[in-house]
Structure 1
């Protein structure tokens, strides 16, 4: 069950999540930015493991989640190569709440009540309204990448919902997941692609900040899923599209139309239903 504190924490995580996506989208080279993010997150993950120990009871979940997160990161880079934050982000995030709720119901017995189901439906509807507002500009290559990104989000969320409960220690579990992110820089080093590590100090600082923000955001989600319904947590997290729309308009020069504002209101109403139910 989600407490008011947990709901507030998940909504704060949604803001942080939109923030690091805005940093990635605004980077000069998204692949390089993602590489630096992974290094920052991986080092932080190792530090967490040094403090909390290894999540040995959930090792299978950690490896599965780590692989899914690497796939997710690769899809993000592909998605943002030519798509705006406000264009692709809603599609990616909109596919996951219903899938997570379905997975939680089928595999964890987390059946939703009427109000929570309505809330998740409103969140998904509002997110796809945001996508529809940009439908005329949605590139054909972006749509498959955005949908695949959404499926990967749902997959790692469900895995992590089970994994954190099996681990019994959310700090160790989060550390294990994010230490896995060092696979990407090690892969570049093994292939002698040293040029990928050459970036300006400003870009390095921006990307590293985005990585640490992403760790804080998802760490809060992991903590909430220890006892909260995976579907409810996912729906509240995806209110990040509200913040992404605002950040895209303010910092990336993306247009905020009346339809997008209406969609944001629908999402907010859905989040209120989920929060009120719990």
Structure 2
């Protein structure tokens, strides 16, 4: 792997962890999703228009898959946002990031007919065990850890679904990945507009009190994906996928150190185990 490829994916992981941190710190609802989605659509409009002009016209199948991707991503943001409002960042985020790749691999085996190797099975076992121990193992309470785990798994299931869906959209239907991501931002902006209007006082408050954080989310949410996309043009997925999961460890550090969620040694240790499992899973085949 080239040093440039590594630098791009590492930067993407840092961007991904950073925007998740600000979402948790602002602690908003669906109105926050609408606000940063609108800002993302505005900020990335010139790039999206440029790619759209250079792309051939889309047929109904391609447009249908773009719409489906928008729905999956919208549901993901809603579940993730609810998890951050009711659980711990350093539990919700690692669980979601672990469950997502696990489900993606399962879908590849069941739906796409890919072989289940010992390496895939081993990676799955390590991830499940790491997530279980991260949330307290057999001694975990039925309190906040269980809530965080539930939302994390829900977000992870949606990650797995939209990953498989988007992979088909960009690889088989040849829709430019950036346009899939941009359509998601626009779709969220449209669907959540009525709710944002009803909560316009909260929208104004988020912008007034957390303008820097909202702008950071708007930029980094899409930038993380764009950096990975650039790296994938000259770097194998087998290298890119596991390195992206460095964001799990960064997020755990942010949640424990900057948000005061505590249990740093425990959470960091088991997050490292989850990361090891994801590396095994991502490098299989």
Interval of TM-score (by shorter of Structure 1 and Structure 2): 0.7 to 0.9
Measured in 2, the distance between the counterparts of 1:20 and 1:221 equals 16
Structure 1: segments with no counterpart, 5+ residues:
none
Displacement of 1:197 in angstroms is 2.5
Displacement of 1:93 in angstroms is 2.5
Alignment of 1:1-278 (within 5 A): 9-53=8-52, 56=58, 58-111=62-115, 113-115=117-119, 117-132=121-136, 135-136=140-141, 137-138=143-144, 141-165=147-171, 166-188=173-195, 192-199=198-205, 200-221=207-228, 237-273=244-280
Displacement of 1:265 in angstroms is 2.9
Displacement of 1:140 in angstroms is 5.3
Is contact 1:123–1:238 with CA below 8 Å preserved after alignment? no
| Structure 2 SS opposite 1:81 | helix
TM-score by length of 1: 0.80
Distance 1:22 1:30, change over 3 A: farther
Larger deviation, residues 163-172 vs 239-248? 163-172
Is contact 1:36–1:204 with CA below 8 Å preserved after alignment? no
Q: Which deviations, in whole Å up to 9, do the C-alpha atoms of 1:97-126 show, x marking residues without a partner?
A: 111011123344554654455345434433
Q: Which deviations, in whole Å up to 9, do the C-alpha atoms of 1:126-185 show, x marking residues without a partner?
A: 344322379334255544433222211111111111111122533333333333232245
The RMSD of aligned alpha carbons is: 3.5
Structure 2: segments with no counterpart, 5+ residues:
none
Measured in 1, the distance between the counterparts of 2:125 and 2:6 equals 18
Measured in 2, the distance between the counterparts of 1:122 and 1:236 equals 17
| Structure 1 SS opposite 2:210 | helix
Give the count of matched residue pairs: 276
Is contact 2:88–2:148 with CA below 8 Å preserved after alignment? no
Measured in 2, the distance between the counterparts of 1:7 and 1:274 equals 19
| Structure 2 SS opposite 1:198 | helix
